[in-house]
Amino acid sequence: MAKILLLNGSAHQNGCTATALQEMISVFEKENVETELIQIGNKQIRGCIGCGFCKKNGRCVFNGDLVNEVAEKLEHADGLVVGSPVYYASPNGTVISFMDRLFYSTSYSKQMKVGAAVVSCRRGGNTASFDVLNKYFTISGMPVASSTYWNQVHGFSAEDVKKDLEGLQTMRNLARNMAFMIKAFDMAKSTMGLPEMEREFFTSFPDGK
Ligand SMILES: Cc1cc2nc3c(=O)[nH]c(=O)nc-3n(C[C@H](O)[C@H](O)[C@H](O)COP(=O)(O)O)c2cc1C
């Protein structure tokens, strides 16, 4: 059975972001896709320090704040949804710290795992935050699921988001597209395998200066 991890980057377990993610989960259940919702926004999650420990050891040097636990789960998952509230027109600090460390510390291939970013703001900054989160997927060979609008809801409380009917519709359509992509990729992988991925070059400035 296909499995999708969903990260709630908000400290509010039943807030706006959670409401959007729950709307997706209700579709995944109908589509027979297993889900695991992981609450990260209420944890103390420090940022990456670029120490290089993960390159030698395959895991982040900092334990106990879910990054290494989620890394293990992601290796076996088919898709990842990251949900974040918007703070000053960006994903919140917890989500950025978490995603930097999760993506930098995992050396296994994430190629063709499907990614989706979901953002929630009261009024402005959703699309800028959406861009930031999609970049973790698009540097990792992960196809990005899309919907009938950018993956966003609006509200200050869960009750507001429940009134954002188009936002919730966007979440349902996103979940349907994501489930379809995961099932289609699974069929394609069983007949064609994965596309070749070159890793030979790692240049900063071509003249070496
Ligand atoms: C520190 C902070 C900064 C915020 N910045 C913005 C912002 O830039 N734009 C906006 O529309 N809402 C902003 N908000 C409101 C939240 O993004 C919004 O209420 C969100 O939907 C809350 O989601 P949650 O219930 O999942 O935490 C901010 C809230 C906080 C606490």
pTM of the predicted structure, to 2 decimals:
0.97
Quote the number of domains for the chain.
Answer: 1
* Ligand 1, atom nearest to 155 Cα: 21
How far does the centroid of ligand 1 lie from the alpha carbon of residue 182, in Å?
31
Cβ < 6 A, ligand 1 pocket: 10, 12, 15-18, 85-89, 120-125, 155-156
Q: Is it the case that residue 209 has pLDDT exceeding 70?
A: no
135 found inside a domain: yes
Closest CA to 8 of 50, 32, 37, 33: 37
Element (H, E) at 116: strand 114-121
| Position 200 in a domain | no
**Could you read off the pLDDT of 123-169 as tens digits, one per residue?**
999 999 999 999 999 999 999 999 999 999 999 999 999 999 999 99
8 A C-beta contact, residue 66 and residue 38: yes
- CA-based torsion, 103, 106, 108, 114: positive or negative: negative
Q: 96 is in which domain, residue-wise?
A: 3-192
Q: CATH code at 23?
A: 3.40.50.360
